[in-house]
Structure 1
Amino acid sequence: MDKAWMSAREPELPWMAAEYELLRDQVRRFVKEEIKPCADQWEENGFIPRSILRRMGALGFFGIRYPAEYGGAEMDSVASTVFAEELGRSTYGGVADAMLVHADMASLYVFHDGTKAQRARWMPGIVSGEAITAVAITEPDAGSDVKAIRTRAVRDGDSYVLDGTKLYITNGVHADLYCVAAKTDPAAGTNGITMFLVEKGTPGFSVARELDKLGWRSSDTAELVFDGCRVPTENVLGAEGQGFYSIMRNLQNERLVLAAMSIGMAEAAIDMTVTYVKTRRAFGGVLWDMQAIRQRLAMLSARLEASRQFLYATAWRMAADDDCLRETSMLKAICGELVNEVAYACVQFHGAMGVMRESAIERVARDARVLSIAGGATEVMLEVVASMS
């Protein structure tokens, strides 16, 4: 969306500072030059080439939040929000998803909960794009209800033995390092879940199958199986029994960046639809001449801008280390629903072209659908908000 009108506003909002806008320009250029020309092929392949992930690492996109000692840029949650919004604007939800899971979801567990030795071993490769990460929490009978996971981890000498199944895991096929949630004490409730680092190739760990999805086609998604998978005690992430609290803390950031991705995708959808209806001729004029269409797009744009300002205000608070559980839950609910509403309207205004696979708006509509589910379904988010009211 055109933000030129903001340039005259004084004082400038803090999340419009020069360093964030420079990052925005860099990501937008990368999307234009290195993602869009190739992403249709990635959609067909079902994954993103490692060369692109390493290129993103070399450009610093995977180290936005991390310290310079690991090759990071030492920025904050506002920068992550800019990154996620611009990836969403690419209109390739699978690309955005795979990159954000690595940069702002899975790798957070290593950085926040890892020991000094774990961080020293893994963070440089995470930042460079050499070591891609996934987070394995969801199971066949446990999605947003984390406490319901059944994967077990039993202590055996200087190791833990993991048994169980994980489902719908982004980057699950091609990741190098998995942050896995398992129950170490089933009787302890929220105090009985522990996070583990599991490397690709560990005996007893396998990718059972690659999953076929409606949208996010260029991100690989897998079912994982742990069958007597033995990991050393030094692979415990954080303290035993504290995994649930680690998950809840990191989910705030996950929901923030998913909201930002939703905003970016909705912005792109409205932009391309306004362009289309201003040129599509019908009934002796163009579709833009029809009041119902242009007012509908204007209202969606207004709601989108309001949500965007809430998004960045929350990101700014998170950068100041405020607890924003209520706000991130609100954002996830609002933005996940709004991008679907925008996509529906934009497909409608494209007419038959809107359902053609050659049309970007068709892909946006498929990819948007996941955003009201992944990272916490809308209904779960609203229950979190209600519980805090």
Structure 2
Amino acid sequence: MSTIYDETHELFRESFAAFVDAEMVPKYHDWEAAGIMDRELYTAAGKHGFVGLAVPEQHGGGGSDDFRFNAIIAEELAKRGINGAGLGLTLHNDIVTPYFIEYCTDEQADRWLPGIASGELVTAIAMTEPGTGSDLAGIKTTAVRDGDEFVLNGAKTFITNGINSDLVVVVCTTDPDAARGGMTLLVVERGMDGFERGRNLDKIGQKSADTAELFFSDVRVPAANLLGEEGKAMEYLAFNLAQERLSIGIFGVAAAKAALDWTVEYVKERTAFGTTIASFQNTKFVLAEVATEVAVAQPFMDQCLLKLNEGTLTPAEAAMAKLHGTELQNRATDRCLQLFGGYGFMTEYPIGPAYADARVTTIYGGTSEIMKTIISKDVLK
């Protein structure tokens, strides 16, 4: 049980939980079947202050840099098994919005931040390419300066919010000879000529998080849409990595706790061989092990969360949070699903979809292998 929240946080939790129960839970299965959540969910969340939490108040946001509110959103979504649509919201809040807050000019802030805070402008970040996964230095998408514009060409894939997004932060190369020093962030807006969205990709999990291919064919992006300075994309991407990875780790532990809670409820009711499944020694041992792992993980996540708020969270600690949280999420959902028997393989219980949803978490945001590399460098320094 986390002890880092005060009364204000718990009131926020109650409010957000009520919003999720009213606006997301009844529609979630339909979103999963459609492979995309309703676009209007973002504006509904914006009206209640659940997006743009860190956007300055003068631009319509919450003006709070306390990441505990973001963590509460993750916990309440995970508790209800809302992983796909939850990813869309947390990506907008935790991962993309910080780039706009940090690097927008005054003109850009006036132009974009109010819509980001209200949910009228949904955000996405486009890094991964068909031939380039974790190795961002291999990006082929190019942007050539032509007067007051950049001419953008290339393709991206696996882009969360790829269909719903209005503002896409595109990582591209503006100086091919400068390697990592020649990469730039450009904001591509919905409706720009030459900007096309491909198919909404059919995934094995997190289906309601629309994930798309994006294509750029001679897209003329105004220089006014340059985010930060030209050639500094790698520096900018590193700025928010700790928060991004912690966000994923927090969700992972919350999802593991949800899997445990669903399973405890199920095994107390389900009978076999004339008794409840809960009475079997194997069931008790599995639940004891999962409960211990969750209990041990939570204080570390809390510690990382407080360090993030203080600005002292290190890259290695963030990598540990991401590695442990997502690996735990996968172990817990796998072991808990086994206790459901055949019903665990059905979608009528939340454990089955949660198992499928969990699998990608050790891949996106940096694979487990990359997290281990980051951690090992810190251990061996």
User: What is the CA deviation profile of residues 97-132 of structure 1, one whole-angstrom value per residue up to 9, with x for unaligned ones?
Assistant: 111111111222211111111111111111111111
CA distance 1:80–1:243, change in 2 (3 Å): same
Distance across 2 between alignment mates of 1:38 and 1:237: 35
Contact 2:259/2:351 (8 A) holds in 1: yes
Give the structure 2 partner of residue 50 of structure 1.
39
Cα offset, 1:199, TM superposition: 0.2
Distance across 2 between alignment mates of 1:225 and 1:201: 13
2:178 is equivalent to residue 188 of structure 1: yes
The letter of the residue matching 2:226 is: V
The letter of the residue matching 2:22 is: E
2:225 is equivalent to residue 235 of structure 1: yes
User: How does 1:333-344 map onto structure 2 within 5 Å?
Assistant: 333-344=323-334
Match of 2:282 among 275, 292, 300: 292
Give the structure 1 partner of residue 16 of structure 2.
27
2:228 is equivalent to residue 262 of structure 1: no
Cα offset, 1:347, TM superposition: 0.9
The letter of the residue matching 1:342 is: A
The letter of the residue matching 1:195 is: L
User: What is the CA deviation profile of residues 35-88 of structure 1, one whole-angstrom value per residue up to 9, with x for unaligned ones?
Assistant: 111101111122111222211011101122222112222221222122222222
Contact 1:131/1:176 (8 A) holds in 2: yes
2:114 is equivalent to residue 124 of structure 1: yes
Distance across 1 between alignment mates of 2:319 and 2:267: 34
Cα offset, 1:189, TM superposition: 2.3
User: How does 1:58-73 map onto structure 2 within 5 Å?
Assistant: 58-73=47-62
User: What is the CA deviation profile of residues 256-305 of structure 1, one whole-angstrom value per residue up to 9, with x for unaligned ones?
Assistant: 11112112221111101000001111122111111221121122112112
Match of 2:368 among 356, 378, 381: 378
Aligned residues: CA RMSD: 1.3
Cα offset, 1:187, TM superposition: 2.0
Moved runs in structure 1, 4+ residues, more than 6 A? none
Contact 2:5/2:68 (8 A) holds in 1: no
Unaligned regions of 5+ residues in structure 2, if any? none
Give the structure 2 partner of residue 111 of structure 1.
101
Distance across 1 between alignment mates of 2:298 and 2:13: 15
Distance across 1 between alignment mates of 2:179 and 2:319: 23
The letter of the residue matching 1:262 is: G
Cα offset, 1:323, TM superposition: 4.0
The letter of the residue matching 2:24 is: I
TM-score (norm 2): 0.96
Distance across 2 between alignment mates of 1:187 and 1:95: 40
Cα offset, 1:186, TM superposition: 1.8
User: How does 1:1-389 map onto structure 2 within 5 Å?
Assistant: 3=1, 13=3, 15-75=4-64, 76-389=66-379
Distance across 2 between alignment mates of 1:208 and 1:218: 16
Unaligned regions of 5+ residues in structure 1, if any? 7-12
The letter of the residue matching 1:357 is: T
Provide the aligned length of Structure 1 versus Structure 2: 378
Give the structure 2 partner of residue 9 of structure 1.
none
Q: Using the TM superposition, name which of 186-195 and 216-225 deviates more.
A: 186-195
Distance across 2 between alignment mates of 1:184 and 1:149: 11
User: How much identity, in percent, do the aligned residues show?
Assistant: 37
Contact 2:39/2:164 (8 A) holds in 1: no
Distance across 2 between alignment mates of 1:263 and 1:108: 23
Contact 2:267/2:277 (8 A) holds in 1: yes
User: What is the CA deviation profile of residues 172-191 of structure 1, one whole-angstrom value per residue up to 9, with x for unaligned ones?
Assistant: 01211100100111222221
Contact 2:185/2:233 (8 A) holds in 1: yes
Distance across 2 between alignment mates of 1:364 and 1:19: 30
Contact 2:304/2:317 (8 A) holds in 1: yes
